[in-house]
Amino acid sequence: MSKEGSVSRGTSPVVVPEVPQSSADTPIARAAEAAIGVRGIGDREPWPRPSRCRIMTIANQKGGVGKTTTAVNLAASLAQHGARVLVVDLDPQGNASTALDVEHHVGVPSVYNVLVDDRPLAEIVRPAGEMPGLYCAPATIDLAGAEIELVPVVARELRLARALRAYDTSHLDYVFVDCPPSLGLLTLNALVAAEEVLLPIQCEYYALEGVQQLLNTAELVRVNFNPGLHISTVLLTMYDGRTRLASDVADDVRAHFGSSVLHTIIPRSVRVSEAPSRGQSVITYDPGSSGAVAYVEAAREVAMQSAGAR
């Protein structure tokens, strides 16, 4: 904890991992840091693994709050610490597939075929990049049509849940479902399929107002389809420590969601936004950057939830 700064008032501290000043942001410095595994992120100690696969839907109907970034970087961190993780890309934009370096041009067997054509998930899952234990079910742009094509289909909300049930998840520790920025049929499928919701909230004004709609939808899904569904994890993203506002939002979110809010807050970091264009998570792209350190810490907290009762 010594490397972390506590920046809020209130009951539980807001913890943003800090990167030491010595982190000269030059290619040589980064390469050197990556090579020697500085700042604790070189440690690859295995973390506790859940007794059975945790299916977590990463949802927030607002776009640009860090859903995909969170899915990819938590998945990569967990895989790096011994877990086997599948990311299901449920956004037609396919950003998670891009970041995980999995092909997703039209014609590639994808989540679209699983939802619309009943194709088994096992036929579309691909290993993600170079990272052992990390897999991706890619999304192609056709998935945009699935929202409409599924409308007349019987039990249209249950398509992903059924596909995951038919898939052997016994070899996996985590499934992260990366949702599109809407509360349409795709997000409904994700909420029906999961036991847990991971809610990324961007540290900005009105952040909580947008979230209420998602909470209402999750409650409807819980009552009608999925009694075990709960918001297990809230992650504050894109924190800008220079503003007072960000820390106020963080306090509000903690007051609302209590202990499900992870202590770690993800700071704004240019490295985080650069990594996807290299087909990488920030965890491998720049392991010493503040964003990578924060995501590894957040993933450690998720892994520790697995060790205790959820």
Q: Which residues bind ligand ADP (CB under 6 A)?
A: 63-69, 95, 181, 237-238, 266, 268-269, 272-273, 276, 291
Task: Compare residues 167 and 297 and give the one whose CB is closer to ligand ADP.
Answer: 297
Report the partner that residue 157 touches, choosing among Mg ion, ligand ADP, none (CB closer than 5 to 8 A by kind).
none
Task: Compare residues 49 and 268 and give the one whose CB is closer to ligand ADP.
Answer: 268
- Token pair 């509000």 is found at 252
Report the partner that residue 273 touches, choosing among Mg ion, ligand ADP, none (CB closer than 5 to 8 A by kind).
ligand ADP
**Least distance from ligand ADP to the Cβ atom of residue 274, Å:** 8
Can you give the three-state secondary structure of 30-62, one letter per residue? HHHHHHHCCCCCCCCCCCCCCCCCEEEEECCCC
**Least distance from ligand ADP to the Cβ atom of residue 110, Å:** 18
**Least distance from Mg ion to the Cβ atom of residue 66, Å:** 8
Q: Are 52 and 304 in contact (CB under 8 A)?
A: no
Task: Compare residues 169 and 269 and give the one whose CB is closer to ligand ADP.
Answer: 269
Go through 11-41 and write b for each residue having 16 or more CB atoms within 10 A of its CB, e for each that does not. eebbbbbbbeeebeeeeeebeebbeeebbeb
Q: Are 28 and 15 in contact (CB under 8 A)?
A: no
Q: Are 215 and 208 in contact (CB under 8 A)?
A: no
Task: Compare residues 72 and 221 and give the one whose CB is closer to ligand ADP.
Answer: 72
Is residue 67 within the footprint of Mg ion (CB under 5 A)? yes
Report the partner that residue 65 touches, choosing among Mg ion, ligand ADP, none (CB closer than 5 to 8 A by kind).
ligand ADP
Task: Compare residues 141 and 153 and give the one whose CB is closer to ligand ADP.
Answer: 141
For residue 249, the surrounding DSSP H or E stretch is helix 244-257
Report the partner that residue 59 touches, choosing among Mg ion, ligand ADP, none (CB closer than 5 to 8 A by kind).
none
* Region at 94 (left for phi over 0; alpha for psi -120 to 50; beta for the rest): left
Other C-beta atoms within 10 Å of 113: how many? 19
Dihedrals φ, ψ of 257, to 5°? -105, -5
Report the partner that residue 140 touches, choosing among ligand ADP, Mg ion, none (CB closer than 5 to 8 A by kind).
none
Report the partner that residue 237 touches, choosing among ligand ADP, Mg ion, none (CB closer than 5 to 8 A by kind).
ligand ADP
**Least distance from Mg ion to the Cβ atom of residue 63, Å:** 7
40 CB-near residues (< 8 Å, 6+ apart): 3, 293
Task: Compare residues 216 and 273 and give the one whose CB is closer to ligand ADP.
Answer: 273
Is residue 68 within the footprint of Mg ion (CB under 5 A)? yes
Site track for Mg ion across 84-103, x = CB under 5 A: -------x---x--------
| Residue 85 tokens, joined | 């993780």
- Token pair 């170079």 is found at 130
Q: Give the binding site for Mg ion (CB under 5 A).
A: 67-68, 91, 95
